[in-house]
Amino acid sequence: MSDPRIDIIRRLARRPNNPALGRTIQKSRAEDIASAFALLPLAAKKSIWNSIQDQEKAAEVLASIDEQELVEMVEYIGVAKIAMLLSLIEVDDATDIISELPVELQKKILSIMEEDDRTQVEDLLAFPEDSAGGLMHLDVLQCDSQSTCRDAINQLQTTKNVEMAFYLYIENQSQHLVGVISLRALLTHPPSTKLSDIMITDLITVHPEANQEDVAKLVSRYDLLALPVVDHSNRLLGLITVDDVIDVIQDIANKNMMLMAGMNEEQDPLNRHVFKAFQQRFTWLLITLIGGIGMAEMIGMFEGSLEANAALAGFIPVILGTGGNVGTQAATIAVRNIATGHLGGRGSFSLLFREARVGSLLGLSFALVLGSYVYFTGSPMLAIAISASIMVTVVSAAILGMLVPLTLNKINIDPAAATGPFVTTGIDLVAILIYFSTCRIIIP
Amino acid sequence: MSDPRIDIIRRLARRPNNPALGRTIQKSRAEDIASAFALLPLAAKKSIWNSIQDQEKAAEVLASIDEQELVEMVEYIGVAKIAMLLSLIEVDDATDIISELPVELQKKILSIMEEDDRTQVEDLLAFPEDSAGGLMHLDVLQCDSQSTCRDAINQLQTTKNVEMAFYLYIENQSQHLVGVISLRALLTHPPSTKLSDIMITDLITVHPEANQEDVAKLVSRYDLLALPVVDHSNRLLGLITVDDVIDVIQDIANKNMMLMAGMNEEQDPLNRHVFKAFQQRFTWLLITLIGGIGMAEMIGMFEGSLEANAALAGFIPVILGTGGNVGTQAATIAVRNIATGHLGGRGSFSLLFREARVGSLLGLSFALVLGSYVYFTGSPMLAIAISASIMVTVVSAAILGMLVPLTLNKINIDPAAATGPFVTTGIDLVAILIYFSTCRIIIP
């Protein structure tokens, strides 16, 4: 699934002093050039960078490359040149670039930026990166509600480039946001029409401190192209556009996937710091390792049963494995439904009840399959013990797997975060206890 | 994280003959009404439906509810009324609704739709739902390249409502798509300017048979608001808008998450057919159950070692668990990078090499932790055997976990689909073999 537009840049950049590289770069989009940076050696990155002639394109490339590459390039390019390039792009993109740099570099760059730009960047840096304020653009088309369509069109013709130039936001005389008009509506009404007569007043807005997950939900549910950010007096601060929200949605999806496997989102494979990756994963795996030692201790308590019947050991993996799988499925369903916001009112309860019923059916079937196998290859008593164990384990796994993320969500902990290690280790411990206790009771 | 806008509808709908419901429905957006349908009993759904007075809003609600609810409501409302409601919304939305219905219902509704609408719906139904053709809208603003800005604005003022009214697509005299102009550009150039002089010619387009994953990648990489769909002679067929792509991105994320836990995307919890859910999950879990029986057989071969040293059984869970976790992490990293398209050229190789190094570090650390525990609580020989086993298991798990999805992707099988069951079962079997063989060799 590699992309020819990106591959050709990569291939050309690997050969030093290649004149074809310059020609290709000139025809390439900034996004493709940025994608080509990933996984290339530093020398090749430098060749690509030096082949970009258009300064604005160069700045856009900086805005699109990954954090680690950005730091590398900023060090190579030097702060003076960077400050110049940042002045060529939108303030919010410049802010995004600056926010990814180490603090000392940030200070150096800010100190040589122009007064106006610096103040705006500093204002934006004050909002957390994952809040509505951190996502918003500052340049918004605004008009007074008493103006006419003609006034608005005149204003449009004289305004510099703005980010989302398809909507015109309308404020009243106290500068409160009161409505929105699409460019299309401006064109299809007589020039003397007052904006307040044709504006849409039923606006969806957010406050700057709203988190990015909620922003993504609003944009996706109401199919918005842009979402105005207002302060608590309903004054327009900025605008979040749908393209930034797409990035948020992909980030959230990645984060959930990584969290469920016990890694955090910074586990970026393009990040070459193997030792850092190891550290992050080790911490989480250590929990399960300690859980594993707990299990060894627990199994040790049943050493008598094991010495009397060594075949019992053989079924440990299948009991634990099936319990773990059913638990993970239940947790995934819960996390997914929390993420899509499908759980309101009694939703959690019906979800749990449904999962308990599916779990019972699964438990019964496994008891039947595994029980028959043991019956025909081992003893009837062992068959009963193992059937009972897997049945109870699977049902408990289904309920626990769903209950843990639902509970975490209720107490405002990210449900995906803790789902992996705790559910798995918890279910394993419960399963071992159920298995050996059942065996001890049933097999004399 | 429940939404008050939705919860209030749900609460009111549960009480029969509630006059407040009608008032709330009238003030609510179609998307919120549709969300409220989920998980409600049929009677409450009917009350909501009957409270919707605006016919167009009713049609929009139908377009937003889930498949199962849609079928339920269509049966309640009747085909004649449905056909009428479908004529009120965009053809592509109507097609989406029809495509979710059983074939007999589709035929009935199509047969009573008006000729014009029917032909368009039938044309759209011919494209697979998950292709660019299945995603596109048919109403696009088009203009001849020889027209002027004035002509274009006149045309805009007389065209009915279209889906993405911010871009005007330009075709030449042979009806080939040659450029695009934003509404803003129309406003900021003198009325007599020829469109061909100001249009942007560097267009990104797709063919109707492109799959939706590729559409999503293009829209997200280039921050597009709309993506034109053209045939192989470069004639404009339709337009894909960013709001539909957001749905695709969320579907893909959900699908990957569900697939990795061994469920398919139809595992919708709002779907109440417990038995169907059971069937789908059972099939996959059966594979791991059979793998588990294989493990029992394998452990049985080492019954001699187990009878001599029952403590060996205690470490089965931790060896399998750690191997499984590391394997899942590796697989998640691989799936994520395949999905984001970060793997081009030598990317797969560096990813694998990096994972092998992280795996070695993890294996070494676990060997140290677990070995020390066994050394102080058991025998030195057992400590060496268990350290060696966990080390080899973890490294194999890291490599296998990454290799399986990378290989599946190379041979064009969805890497997320097979990652869960096969990797887990495979790693488990390898781990058991490594563990007992090592123990037999090291412990006399």
Q: Which pLDDT score, from 0 to 100, does residue B297 have?
A: 86
Query: Do residues B132 and B209 touch, judged by C-beta distance below 8 A?
Result: yes
Q: Which pLDDT score, from 0 to 100, does residue B195 have?
A: 93
The hierarchical CATH code for the domain B142-252 is 3.10.580.10
Least confident of A114-128, B292-306, B374-388, B421-435: B421-435
Query: Residue B394's Cα: distance from chain center in Å?
Result: 31
> Which residue type is seen at A283?
T
Cα–Cα distance between B142 and B171 in angstroms, integer? 7
Taking alpha carbons only, the member of B112, B85, B114 closest to residue B97 is B85
pLDDT at A132 over 90: yes
Cα distances (angstroms) measured from residue A72 to each of A53, A62, A84, A159, B344:
20, 11, 18, 36, 21
Structure tokens at B51: 């409270």
pLDDT at A2 over 70: no
Q: Which pLDDT score, from 0 to 100, does residue A271 have?
A: 53
Q: Residues of A with CB below 8 A from B66's CB?
A: none
Interface size, chain A vs chain B, as Cβ–Cβ contacts under 8 Å: 360
Cα–Cα distance between B293 and B295 in angstroms, integer? 5
**Is pLDDT larger for residue A269 or for residue A279?**
A279
The pLDDT-based confidence of B1 (bands split at 50, 70, 90) is very low
Assign a CATH topology to domain A274-442: Tetracycline Repressor; domain 2 (1.10.357)
Taking alpha carbons only, the member of A205, A436, A198 closest to residue A320 is A436
The pLDDT-based confidence of A184 (bands split at 50, 70, 90) is confident
Query: What is the average pLDDT value for chain A, to the nearest integer?
Result: 85
Please answer yes or no on whether B344 and A245 come within 8 Å at the CB atom. Answer: no
The pLDDT-based confidence of A172 (bands split at 50, 70, 90) is very high
Query: Do residues A397 and A427 touch, judged by C-beta distance below 8 A?
Result: yes
Query: Do residues A227 and A240 touch, judged by C-beta distance below 8 A?
Result: yes
Q: Residues of A with CB below 8 A from B371's CB?
A: none
pLDDT at B142 over 90: no
B188-198 core/surface letters (b: 16 or more CB in 10 A; e: else): bbeeebebbeb
The Cα of A271 is separated from the nearest Cα of chain B by a number of Å equal to 10
Query: Residue A82's Cα: distance from chain center in Å?
Result: 29
Q: Which pLDDT score, from 0 to 100, does residue A420 have?
A: 62
Q: Residues of B with CB below 8 A from A312's CB?
A: 313
The pLDDT-based confidence of A330 (bands split at 50, 70, 90) is confident
The pLDDT-based confidence of A230 (bands split at 50, 70, 90) is very high
Same fold, A4-127 and A142-241: no
pLDDT average, residue stretch A91-112: 89
Query: Do residues B251 and B274 touch, judged by C-beta distance below 8 A?
Result: no
Cα–Cα distance between A79 and A106 in angstroms, integer? 9
Q: Which pLDDT score, from 0 to 100, does residue A308 have?
A: 78
* CB nearest to B261's CB, from A29, A303, A328: A328
Query: Residue A99's Cα: distance from chain center in Å?
Result: 18
pLDDT per position as a tens digit, A305-319: 887 787 888 888 888
Spell out the SS3 assignment of A402-438.
HHHHHHHHHCCCCHHHHHHHHHHHHHHHHHHHHHHHH
Q: What's chain A's Rg over C-alpha atoms?
A: 29
Cα–Cα distance between B402 and B49 in angstroms, integer? 50
Cα–Cα distance between A184 and B184 in angstroms, integer? 9
pLDDT per position as a tens digit, B281-298: 887 788 888 888 888 888
* CB nearest to B428's CB, from A296, A299, A317: A317
Work out the number of other CB atoms within 10 angstroms of the CB of residue B431: 27
Q: Does B76 touch chain A (CB under 8 A)?
A: no
pLDDT at B342 over 70: no
Q: Does B375 touch chain A (CB under 8 A)?
A: no
pLDDT at A194 over 90: yes
Q: Which pLDDT score, from 0 to 100, does residue A58 have?
A: 92
**Is pLDDT larger for residue A164 or for residue A154?**
A154
Cα distances (angstroms) measured from residue A216 to each of A212, A219, A226, A241, A336:
6, 5, 11, 10, 15
Cα–Cα distance between B36 and A5 in angstroms, integer? 45
Cα–Cα distance between B243 and B33 in angstroms, integer? 19
| Residues written for chain B | 444
| Residues written for chain A | 444
Cα–Cα distance between B65 and B155 in angstroms, integer? 35
Please answer yes or no on whether A332 and B263 come within 8 Å at the CB atom. Answer: yes
Pick the CATH number of A142-241 from 3.40.50.10170, 3.20.20.70, 3.30.930.10, 3.10.580.10: 3.10.580.10
Q: Which pLDDT score, from 0 to 100, does residue A176 have?
A: 94
Domain residue ranges in chain B? 4-131, 142-252, 274-442
Give the DSSP H/E element, type plus range, for residue A171: strand A167-171
pLDDT at B163 over 70: no
Query: Do residues A48 and A25 touch, judged by C-beta distance below 8 A?
Result: yes
The pLDDT-based confidence of B164 (bands split at 50, 70, 90) is low
Q: Residues of B with CB below 8 A from A34's CB?
A: none
Q: Which pLDDT score, from 0 to 100, does residue B228 have?
A: 95
Query: Do residues B16 and B43 touch, judged by C-beta distance below 8 A?
Result: yes
pLDDT average, residue stretch A301-307: 82
Q: Which top CATH class is B4-131?
A: mainly alpha
The pLDDT-based confidence of A162 (bands split at 50, 70, 90) is low
In DSSP terms, which residues pair with A181 in a beta bridge?
A: A168
Query: Do residues A142 and A169 touch, judged by C-beta distance below 8 A?
Result: yes
pLDDT per position as a tens digit, A6-35: 888 888 888 877 888 989 998 889 988 988
pLDDT at A1 over 50: no
Least confident of A115-129, A263-277, B121-135, B293-307: A263-277
pLDDT at A270 over 60: no
* CB nearest to A317's CB, from B6, B258, B432: B432
Q: Residues of B with CB below 8 A from A292's CB?
A: 315, 317-319, 321-322, 370
pLDDT at A415 over 90: no
pLDDT average, residue stretch A277-302: 83
Strongest mean pLDDT among A349-353, B162-166, B172-176, B435-439: B172-176
Q: Residues of A with CB below 8 A from B358's CB?
A: 274, 277-278, 281
Mutation pick from A293, A366, A423 vs chain B, by most beta carbons of B within 10 Å, is: A293
pLDDT per position as a tens digit, B215-238: 998 998 888 889 999 999 999 999
Residue A421: half-sphere exposure toward Cβ, Cα within 13 Å: 22
pLDDT average, residue stretch B380-404: 90
Least confident of A243-257, B199-213, B260-274, B341-355: B260-274
Give the DSSP H/E element, type plus range, for residue A243: helix A242-260
Q: Which pLDDT score, from 0 to 100, does residue B271 have?
A: 53
Please provide the distance, in angstroms rounded to a whole number, between the alpha carbons at the two ends of chain B. 59
pLDDT at A365 over 70: yes
Q: Which pLDDT score, from 0 to 100, does residue A363 have?
A: 94
A4-127 under CATH 1.25.60.10, yes or no: yes
Q: Does B243 touch chain A (CB under 8 A)?
A: yes
Please provide the distance, in angstroms rounded to a whole number, between the alpha carbons at the two ends of chain A. 59
Query: What is the average pLDDT value for chain B, to the nearest integer?
Result: 85
